[in-house]
Amino acid sequence: MLLDEIYAQHTGRVSDKWQSYLHHYDRLFSPIRHKPISILEIGIQNGGSLEIWDQYFPNATSITGCDINEKCASITYDSTKINIVIGDIKKQDTQNTILGISQSFDVIIDDGSHTSLDIIQTFSDMFAHIKEGGIFIAEDLHCSYWADWEGGLNYPLSAMAFFKKLADIINFEHWQVRQTRTEYLAAYGLTPALSEALLSEIHSIEFVNSICIIKRKHASENSLGHRNVAGLHEQVVSIKASGGTLSSPPDLSTADYSTKMKLLEASRQHTASQLRLIEVEIEALQKSKNPTI
């Protein structure tokens, strides 16, 4: 039975998921559906999603829900696999309680406050507890475009902006600058748990509407690898000698001066354009507060 069919027939506690999520989750979870997986969902509201995960993953070893709302403590289940932890996921004691149930997870779904700072800190703290091959999912990232959730289309510190930066982290080996991964992300206030070594284990980033999916694999599986050159006949370009070599970024100091200046000037113009947009927004906001300005 597909996940949307389970939702359609569900009569237990209320669960709230957007339709497109269900189709993507079937695609993502079908390879592990009948395995002894552990799952953590942050933000459970009425608790219905935990019932649905219990049905969808029949061989799950643990299904843990975390919510800051103390009313969730009154929710009970027949299944002994389901556990609820009451607390702020950003607090160490809450994390310790969760890790007392399961030390690591195949799937973590962040459906919590949806504010950018919370999302970024939750990822920083909890990605270390994703198993190799497991996935971290941030839901409802449309909130990352809304001011009341610490977001905006041009806001550089939104959760969506942070996850976009992780695409650069995946391609770290190709950077021409001497900068660490953690230095590159410093503006987002990462917690110590998201170390340089752990960032090297980000295998892939996938975006679909309102969701970001981050997969973890050992660092050795995340490099570009060596160049494969097959065949015997080189009629146009001689490249056979490149077989077996590794990618290495060219030395930035040897790059053509005019090319570098052109790129820097384009970057300056883009930044100036972004700044003008921000100034227009600030002026409009000030006028809405005080029309006499």
136 & 266 share domain: no
pLDDT digits 0-9 by tens, 170-185: 999 999 988 999 999 9
- Cα separation, 291 vs 293, in Å, equals 6
Residues 86 and 201 both lie in one domain: yes
Q: Mean pLDDT over all residues of the chain?
A: 94
- 71 found inside a domain: yes
pTM comes to 0.91
The tokens 């009313």 sit on which residue? 71
Domain count, the chain: 2
Residue 136 lies in a domain: yes
Band of residue 293 on the pLDDT scale cut at 50, 70, 90: low
The pLDDT score that the predictor gives to residue 252 is 81
Same domain, residue pair 51 and 114: yes
Considering the domain boundaries, does residue 14 fall inside one? yes
Decide if 93 contacts 87 (C-beta within 8 A).
Answer: yes
Express each pLDDT in 190-224 by its tens digit: 999 999 999 999 999 999 999 999 999 999 999 99
User: What integer is the mean pLDDT of 38-57?
Assistant: 97
Per-residue pLDDT, 289: 80
Which CATH number does the domain housing residue 142 bear? 3.40.50.150
pLDDT of residue 230: 92
Residue 226: inside a domain:
no
Give Rg (Cα) of the chain: 23
- Domain range enclosing 103: 3-221
CA angle 259–261–262, rounded 5-degree value: 65
> Per-residue pLDDT for 291 more than 90?
no
Stretch 70-85: mean pLDDT = 97
CA dist 233 and 231 (Å) reads 6
Burial of 184 from C-beta contacts in 10 A (0-12 / 13-18 / 19+)? middle
- Assign 287 a pLDDT band (cuts: 50, 70, 90): confident
64 and 177 within one domain:
yes
Q: How far is CA 263 from CA 171, 248, 268, in A?
A: 20, 21, 9
Residue 238 lies in a domain: no
Kindly state whether residues 271 and 134 are assigned to the same domain: no
**Residue 205 three-state SS:** strand
**Is residue 236 in some structural domain?**
no
Question: 106-110, 208-212, 223-227: which range is least confident on average?
Answer: 223-227
Q: Does one domain contain both 167 and 284? A: no
CA–CA distance, 49 with 66 (Å, rounded to integer): 12
Q: Which of 198, 221, 244 is the last residue of a domain?
A: 221
Per-residue pLDDT of 78-102, as tens digits, reads 999 999 999 999 999 999 999 999 9
Q: Please check whether residues 265 and 186 belong to one and the same domain.
A: no
DSSP string, 81-116: TEEEEES-TTSHHHHHHHHHH-S-EEEEEE-S---H
